[in-house]
């Protein structure tokens, strides 16, 4: 099996961390990253700690990103952070439309696509998250739901698609310890790949997320359309995260 797309393993710290805890985690990641194999490794932290990542990860093979971005470029948007601000000090990635933001902050797929567009305009790489709930899956609505979530993103066009990453994260597998089987994940990744290919963007990297651990990463990565992982809980433990990257 040929896997031409460079694998990407990205940690999502969510709202975890402290200056001291991050320092310990990052030091271990930096020291051991060269042994993590050929995968590209990245971490996405809460906004206040991005400067810490910038300083600690400078010169290391690990890149870093934010977990959200404003749709707006500047103005009276108290509490928001623009893509330009993130780009200003060297941020590479930004998660757009993580399921927790869709569920807890009411982000719509149109808004998620607008965030991705804003990020691209500032030179960042958006990681656009999509995924179905358990009800969607039980109701046989997976492709319908993922298709709807993807639609405004696909409308950004071939050039934009070529510069972003998609993460498939079934909501029922996030933080639950319940991972999609490699076959379940591959089926949805193939559907996403087909949708991207129809837009001339078949080489976009598609990450899987949802209770990925060192013990299940290899079987997921063996699937032809899984190009890496978006890792929540396990990204807070350096050795576990690096073992996923090495898988």
Residue nearest to ligand PEP (CB): 232
Output 107 or 199, the one with its CB closest to ligand PEP: 107
The single residue listed with the structure tokens 């971005």 is: 69
- Secondary structure letter of residue 48 according to DSSP: G
CA 77 to chain centre: 25
What angle do the packed helices 214-221 and 182-198 form, to 10 degrees?
50
The single residue of 100, 169, 189, 240 carrying the catalytic annotation is 169
- 192 counts as binding ligand PEP under rule CB under 6 A: no
Which residues ranging from 198 to 237 are in contact with ligand PEP (CB under 6 A)?
209-212, 230-234
Indicate which single residue of 55, 139, 175, 215 sits in contact with ligand PEP (rule: CB under 6 A). Answer: 175
Binding mask 41-60 for ligand PEP (x = CB under 6 A): --------------------
Q: Is-catalytic flag, 143?
A: no
Sequence-ordered strand ranges (E) for the chain: 8-12, 40-44, 62-66, 93-96, 125-130, 165-168, 205-209, 228-231
Output 21 or 58, the one with its CB closest to ligand PEP: 21
What sign for the dihedral angle of Cα 156, 15, 232, 102? negative
- 174 counts as binding ligand PEP under rule CB under 6 A: yes
User: Can you list the alpha helix ranges (DSSP code H) found in 106-203?
Assistant: 109-121, 134-138, 142-154, 158-161, 182-198
Residues in the chain: 247
Output 182 or 233, the one with its CB closest to ligand PEP: 233
Supply the minimum distance, in Å, between the C-beta of residue 95 and ligand PEP.
8
- 170 counts as binding ligand PEP under rule CB under 6 A: no
Which residues are the active-site residues?
A: 98, 169
Residues lying near ligand PEP in the complex (CB under 6 A): 12, 14, 169, 174-175, 209-212, 230-234
């Amino acid at each position: 099996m040929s896997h031409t797309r460079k694998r990407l393993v990205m940690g999502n710290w969510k709202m975890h961390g402290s200056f001291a805890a991050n320092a310990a985690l990052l030091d271990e990641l930096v020291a051991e990253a060269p042994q993590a194999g050929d995968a590209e490794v990245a971490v996405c932290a809460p906004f206040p700690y991005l400067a810490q990542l910038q300083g600690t990860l400078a010169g290391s093979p690990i890149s870093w990103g934010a977990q959200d971005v404003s749709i707006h470029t500047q103005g009276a948007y108290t509490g928001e952070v623009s893509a330009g601000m993130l780009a200003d000090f060297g941020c590479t990635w930004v998660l757009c439309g993580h399921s927790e933001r869709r569920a807890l902050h009411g982000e719509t797929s149109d808004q998620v696509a607008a965030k991705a567009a804003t990020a691209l305009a500032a030179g960042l790489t958006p990681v656009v998250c999509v995924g179905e709930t358990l009800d969607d899956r039980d109701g046989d609505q997976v492709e319908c739901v993922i298709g709807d979530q993807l639609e405004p993103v696909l409308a950004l066009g071939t050039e934009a698609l070529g510069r972003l990453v998609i993460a498939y994260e079934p909501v029922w597998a996030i933080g639950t310890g319940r991972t999609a089987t490699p076959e379940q994940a591959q089926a949805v990744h193939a559907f996403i790949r087909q949708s991207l290919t129809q837009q001339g963007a078949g080489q976009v990297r598609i990450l899987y997320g949802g209770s990925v651990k060192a013990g299940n990463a290899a079987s997921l990565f063996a699937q032809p359309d899984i190009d890496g992982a978006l890792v929540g809980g396990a990204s807070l433990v350096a050795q576990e995260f690096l073992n996923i990257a090495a898988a």
